[in-house]
Amino acid sequence: MILYIAKRLVLMIPVLLGITVISFTVMKMAPGDPTSLLTDLNPNMNEEAINRIRAHYGLDQPIYVQYAKWLRNMLMLDFGRSFAPDNRLVIDKIAERIPITLLINILSLAVILTIAIPIGVLSAVKKDSFFDRATTVFVFLGFAVPSFWLALLLMILFGVQLEWLPISGFRSLDYAQLTTAEKILDIARHLVLPVFISAFGGLAGLSRYMRSNMLEVIRQDYITTARAKGLDERTVIFKHAMRNALLPVITILGLSVPGLIGGSVIFETVFAIPGMGQLFYQSVMMRDYPTIMGVLVIGAVLTLFGNLLADVMYSLADPRIRVSD
């Protein structure tokens, strides 16, 4: 097992390198560069000034030199400085945005799991019942409704009309003066709408997945055996069927690891939450290469680890799949 993990880890290196080469090339192929914001259509800029700024960022060198430089710094875990006008360390920019994005994504994943799994199981057990159809409509509604629109409606209702919840942001303006308990409550109040919106859109995938797995499992011989033994339906479903149906969910969880640091631009924009989605979007728009690469590398590493984790967990959970050393 350990040997297997070690082998997988070693194999990750070329994959990761490949990802960075492709990302770097594709990124550079997009028209425009980080100096555009400063120089384009600016009457105060002449050719010489533009070249000066390009040289400052090392953009006057051939692309392979730029990549080699970036890679060398990366090997020492130096993400470099952002090309955006703020000139900040990329690692700082990412670090200040990751906590809120992680918090929202973990909470929403938790909400999705607690709602989608029961929905999936029950609609499989009561296939074609009213409940099955109703939940199908419900989860697909969540999937189909544009999140920014629903978000605005909820803000009008709970923020402006009823004044139960704050409208945007993730903490109050007087946050610094609150006690710890009040702080937690304050953030919780701010997160109700964002977490609801982001979970609502994600229900469909997992619940449908769960439903089809469950249908598959219920047809198996051992379920018939369990029923023939005279076990009550609850034990059959939750103890024998569901545990097996849950196996593929591990894969999904593994794959959602990189998603935990990825935010949604639209959603963060509507709620004015400074998360990773906005950071990445702005970096792309500004052609802020070091930040783009920083986010991509972290994402790539997490994806690879997520995959590995899923495979390992899977073999631990399912005796039929054992890794042969």
Partner 1 sequence: MTSNKLKWACMCCLLILAAVSHAPASKPAGQDGKSQTPPQAADALEPAYGDMIIRGSIGDASVLLPVLASDSASFEITGLIYNGLVKYDKDILLVGDLATRWEISDDNLRIRFFLRPGVRWHDGAPLTTKDVEYTYKVYVDPTTPTAYATDFLRVKEFRVLDPLTCEAIYEKPYAPALASWSQGILPSHLLENQEITKSPLQREPIGTGPYKFKEWKTGEKIVLDSYHEYFEGRPYIDRVMTRIIPDLATMFLELKAGRLDEMGLTPLQFSRQTDTPWFKQNFKKYRYLSFSYTYLGYNLKDWKFQSKKVRQALTTAIDREGIVKGVLLGLGAVAHTPFKPDTFWYNPNVKKFPYDPKKARQMLEEEGWKDTDGDGILDKDGKPFEFTIITNQGNDIRKNTAIIIQKNLKAVGVKVNIRVIEWAAFLKNFINKRNFEACLLGWGIGIDPSQIDIWDSRKTSEKELNFISYQNPEVDKLLELGASTYDREERKKYYDKFQEIIAEDQPYTFLFVQDSLPIISSRFHGIVPAPIGISYDFIKWYVPKSLQKYSVEP
Going from the C-alpha of 250 to that of each of 80, 256, 312, the distances in angstroms are 35, 10, 10
Shortest Å, Cβ 237 to partner 1: 14
Shortest Å, Cβ 115 to partner 1: 7
| 11 binds partner 1 per the rule CB under 8 A | no
In contact, 87 and 53? CB cutoff 8 Å: no
Span from 8-16, 32-40, 183-191, 312-320 in contact with partner 1 (CB under 8 A): 32-40
| 47 binds partner 1 per the rule CB under 8 A | yes
User: Measured at the alpha carbon of residue 195, what is the angle toward residues 189 and 197, in degrees to the nearest 5?
Assistant: 115
Contacts 24+ apart (CB under 8 A), 89-92: 90/290, 90/291, 90/294, 91/294
User: Which of 24, 70, 209, 271: binder of partner 1 (CB under 8 A)?
Assistant: 271
Q: Please state, in angstroms and rounded to a whole number, the distance separating the CA atoms of residues 241 and 121.
A: 9
Span from 9-17, 90-98, 219-227, 315-323 in contact with partner 1 (CB under 8 A): 90-98
| 46 binds partner 1 per the rule CB under 8 A | yes
| 69 binds partner 1 per the rule CB under 8 A | no
Shortest Å, Cβ 36 to partner 1: 6
| 98 binds partner 1 per the rule CB under 8 A | no
Of 49 and 231, which CB lies nearer to partner 1 in the complex structure? 49
Q: Residue 208 has which token pair?
A: 């449908």
In contact, 145 and 169? CB cutoff 8 Å: no
Phi and psi at residue 166, in whole multiples of 5°?
-70, 155
Q: Please state, in angstroms and rounded to a whole number, the distance separating the CA atoms of residues 238 and 295.
A: 40
| 103 binds partner 1 per the rule CB under 8 A | no
| 25 binds partner 1 per the rule CB under 8 A | no
Q: Please state, in angstroms and rounded to a whole number, the distance separating the CA atoms of residues 78 and 97.
A: 18
Query: How far is Cα of residue 105 from the mean position of the Cα atoms in its chain?
Result: 7
Q: Nearest CA to 266 among 146, 111, 177?
A: 146
Q: Pattern of binders to partner 1 over 125-164, x per CB under 8 A?
A: ------x--xx--x--x------x---xxxxxx-xxx-x-
**How many amino acids of this chain bind partner 1 (CB under 8 A)?**
68
DSSP bridge pairs for 81: 89
Binding residues for partner 1 (CB under 8 A): 30-32, 35-47, 49-50, 52-53, 56-57, 81, 84-88, 93, 96-97, 115, 118-119, 122, 131, 134-135, 138, 141, 148, 152-157, 159-161, 163, 166-171, 173, 268-274, 278, 285, 287
